Structure 1
Amino acid sequence: MGITSLCLMLSTLVIHPNRSQFFSYDSITLTCGAAGSPGGWTLKRNTSTHASQLCDSDWGVSNGSSCVIEDVYASDSGVYWCESELGECSNSVNVTVTGGAVILEIPALPVTEGDEVTLLCSNKEGQSREATFFKDGVSIGTGPAGNVSFLKVSKSDEGFYHCELPTEGKSPQSWLAVKAGGAEPPPLMPVPRLVCAVLLVVLHVVIFIVCVNIHRKIVQHLRDS
């Protein structure tokens, strides 16, 4: 939040795969994109040991507007964003890398109100099994297939989530961000009311025409007399 508030947001940072949590040795690709400005963007990050660190050979491989981290470690946990030489920037993305046995597959990028969103509790083998899910430290239920779904996510679903597998422990917690959706089209007017409105308009037009004709006749009569 503090990073992007200091500069003009003219770029979008995309992460692949789109999730906040990763196991050690997973691979992550982060790509900067800006409409009308394909080049000149640099990926930066803040970690527990470095600030405004550029994508370089020590931890990532730069490829144009993308940065690939082939084997992530706990030290790669932090906040990532794109920045231009002119001080323009992108949204920021939080990345958490764990050496533990469980992660929560939760979108790293904000989801839109009304979207269907599924959170998955995974172990290193990627197996689906019964998992308990928590929001802001409070249990929200158990998913027998290792997942929980929001058919139409809303702003009230925003918060910190983590999960727990019975024999393997808990995942780290990550924030689920929910952004406002597009404005819904206004509801259609009921047919009876629409018919009444049309008839009322027609009546007003007819009355107006009649009044104009009467006025003309009166004026003409006065002239003739």
Structure 2
Amino acid sequence: MGITSLCLMLSTLVLHPDRSQFFSYDSITLTCGEAGNSGGWTLKRNTSFHTSQMCDSDWGVSSSATASSCVIEDAYPLDSGVYWCQSALGENGRGVNVTVTDGDVILESPGLPVTEGDEVTLLCSSKGREATPGSSATFYKDGVPLGAPTAGSVTFPKVSESDEGFYACELPAGGRSPPSWLAVNAARAEPPPLLSMPWLLCAVMLVVLHIVMFAVCVNVHRNLAKARAESEKRASRER
């Protein structure tokens, strides 16, 4: 793996609030960087009307000299699109979809990909209110209802790759949210387990035993060789 590819893997686009859907006039902060260091990264976006657009006064306020961070103070549906980080070498990190709706309902789902095994909660929120877990809501995956209406939220205790898909929610008095893609990354392979303490002690004892046996064998061989040499020397004198 090249250094550039590794850096792109480490680069992160952070959304605040951490969700992919927003109401009109919401404030959105987007920051890209590498382990907290935004130097060398530039935030860009593709929308229905612009491509590879950097943060400027037409749609956001840049909070850094390198345009690696941008604040959309009053979001509009025209701000919907794909946002990503671009390195100083011109290579692009993974894009994140942002949806701004003038409707009355949004689905609060993670804006960034989640990892297999994570706990993930989706909330259905109505305009002008915080997400209300006590209200009845119907959730959809790929256009198909996820069972009966729930109390405003649905939780995946341990999300898996099979849960990846387009999700939306619907409130009886508010309508349905736009769909959002829930991306699930495969979990990293666990390292092989280390030897347990009893097995480790056994292995150490075997190594020590082999060393002792080798030393004994070397000493016996030396003594036999010495005795043989003295015997031959004595025999030659007697002649």
The answer on whether the counterparts of 1:131 and 1:143 sit within 8 Å (CA) in structure 2 is: yes
Deviation at 1:161? 1.7
Q: How far off its partner does 1:38 sit?
A: 4.3
Instruction: Indicate the residue corresponding to 1:4 in structure 2.
Output: none
For 1:137 and 1:186, the matched residues in 2 are separated by: 41
Equivalent in the alignment of 1:3 = none
Relative to the length of structure 2, the TM-score reads: 0.77
Q: What is the identity, as a one-letter code, of the residue corresponding to 1:22?
A: F
Aligned partner of 2:119 among 88, 103, 116:
116
Bigger shift: 68-77 or 53-62?
53-62
Structure 1, gaps ≥5 residues long = 1-7
Q: Which residue of 1 aligns with 2:92?
A: 89
Q: CA offset at residue 39 of structure 1? A: 4.1
**Structure 2: any 5+ residue segments left out of the alignment?**
1-6, 232-239
Write the mapping of 1:42-57 to structure 2, written as runs, cut at 5 A: 42-57=42-57
Deviations 1:149-177 (A, max 9, x none): 22233333322222222332222111122
One-letter amino acid of the counterpart of residue 112, structure 1: T
Deviation at 1:186, TM superposition (A): 2.7
Cα displacement (A) at 1:67: 1.3
**CA separation in 2, counterparts of 1:60 and 1:47?**
14
Hey, what's the Cα distance between the residues in 2 that align with 1:40 and 1:197?
A: 50
- Of Structure 1 and Structure 2, the greater strand share is in 1
Please say which of residues 137-146 and 24-33 is displaced more in the overlay. Answer: 137-146
How many angstroms does 1:95 deviate by? Answer: 0.4
The C-alpha deviation readout for 1:110-149, integer Å capped at 9, x for no partner, is 2223322211111112233122323333333457431222
* TM-score, L = length of structure 1: 0.82
2:139 to 133, 136, 153: 133
Identify the structure with the greater helix proportion.
2
* Residue of structure 1 equivalent to 2:153: 147
In structure 2, the CA distance between the partners of 1:165 and 1:66, relative to structure 1 (3 Å rule), is same
Q: Aligned AA for 2:79?
A: D
- Map 1:205-220; keep pairs closer than 5 Å: 205-220=211-226
Q: Of the candidates 74, 83, 107, which is equivalent to residue 104 of structure 1?
A: 107
Counterpart of 1:16?
16
Q: How many residues align?
A: 218
Between the aligned residues of both structures, percent identity stands at 69
Contact 1:13 1:32 in 2 (8 A): yes
Structure 2 counterparts to residues 180-219 of structure 1, below 5 A:
180-190=186-196, 192-219=198-225
- Given that residues 104 and 172 in structure 1 are in contact (C-alpha distance below 8 angstroms), is that contact kept between their aligned partners in structure 2? yes
Larger Rg: 2
